[in-house]
Amino acid sequence: MINIHKEVYGQGKPVVLIHGWAMHTGIWRKFAQQLAQHYQVICLDLPGHGLSESVEPYALQQVTDALIDAMPESTACVLGWSLGATVAISLARHYPQRVNALILIAGNPRFVQDGHWVGIQPKLLKDFANNLSINFSVTLIRFLALQVNSLPEGKALLKELKIAMKECDPPVGKVLQGGLDILSQTDLRDDLVSLNCPISIIQGDNDSLVPVQASLDMQKIKPACQLNIIEGAGHVPFLSHQSQLIKIINHFL
């Protein structure tokens, strides 16, 4: 069993927060503390991110198995953002007895474009992978900028993201590459359809990484999903539209 770092706030129904690629629990902190007024909020560092030990090989199943050991023994709602949403779906699929609800923020069971499925352009992820070995820090900053550059408050949000990122050493190249491989290779559409737990999809209409159409298509293949599109939000609504997001979560849970 590897060590998974966690931060816990509040009391009540447990809600597990799983962050995105190259981030760590610090990115959630303000949002988590607000959400903890209603629930027990458990923020987990993905393997190899923040203060968590890594897994080998760095693949979705190994990441999923590592996180389940850090989750509450009772059932919990799992809230995943971006790459964290992919992991959340995998947790619900492989450990249904431990996950009683899913909240997917800026997530997608198939992250890249595939036939008629709308997703991120595969070239963008390939460029990130290639640039990691050339200029590590610039590549991460570019990724962060993509998440907020369409928003009026983008500069302030980018500054907040950079500060959070600097709390911990960045993941090593192997971990970052493994995360990109998960995003580019994973297809959990059938897994999503097979799930029996309640699912909430939350999407910003200005998200420059995950197209709004992807969330609409998720609801098409899983009509029971609750879909909320936040007007004016980008890829990080928990920073830009915190109050609205908490209202959506409270209504869902």
Question: How is domain 6-252 classified at the architecture level of CATH?
Answer: 3-Layer(aba) Sandwich (3.40)
Residue 246 pLDDT greater than 70, yes or no:
yes
Residue 14 pLDDT greater than 80, yes or no:
yes
- Which residue of the set 207, 215, 240, 241 is catalytic? 207
At 208 the pLDDT is 81
Residue 157 pLDDT greater than 70, yes or no:
yes
Residue ranges covered by each domain of the chain:
6-252
Per-residue H/E/C for 129-154: HHHHCCCHHHHHHHHHHHHHCCCCCH
The whole-angstrom separation of Cα 155 and Cα 161 is: 10
Answer whether 150's CB lies under 8 Å from 29's CB. no
At 130 the pLDDT is 78
Joined tokens for residue 115:
């036939």
- Which residue of the set 52, 82, 90, 215 is catalytic? 82
Answer whether 89's CB lies under 8 Å from 188's CB. yes
Q: Which of 43-47, 102-106, 113-117 has the lowest mean pLDDT?
A: 113-117
Please say if 82 is a catalytic residue: yes
Q: CA 113, 151, 17: angle at the middle one, nearest 5?
A: 65
At 123 the pLDDT is 81
- Which residue of the set 45, 235, 240, 241 is catalytic? 235
pTM exceeds cut of 0.85 = yes
| Higher-confidence position of 174 and 92 | 92
Please say if 191 is a catalytic residue: no
Full DSSP string of 146-184? HHHTTSTTHHHHHHHHHHHHTTSPPPPHHHHHHHHHHHH
Beta strands at 6-9 and 40-44: parallel, antiparallel or unpaired:
antiparallel
- For residue 207, the 8-state DSSP code is -
Sign of CA dihedral 216, 218, 221, 226: negative
Residue 19 pLDDT greater than 90, yes or no:
yes
Residue 186: partners with Cβ closer than 8 Å, 6 or more residues away? 60, 86, 109, 110, 111
| Average pLDDT along the chain | 91
User: Which amino acid, 50?
Assistant: G
Q: What is the mean pLDDT of residues 190-206?
A: 96
Q: Residue 38 — φ and ψ, nearest 5°? A: -120, -25
| Higher-confidence position of 165 and 243 | 243
CB atoms within 10 A of CB 242: 14
At 132 the pLDDT is 72
Residue 168 pLDDT greater than 80, yes or no:
yes
* Cis peptide upstream of residue 47 (ω within 30 degrees of 0): no
Answer whether 19's CB lies under 8 Å from 81's CB. yes
The whole-angstrom separation of Cα 169 and Cα 38 is: 31
The 10s digit of each residue's pLDDT in 31-54 is 999 999 999 999 999 999 999 999
At 154 the pLDDT is 81
Residue 133 pLDDT greater than 70, yes or no:
no
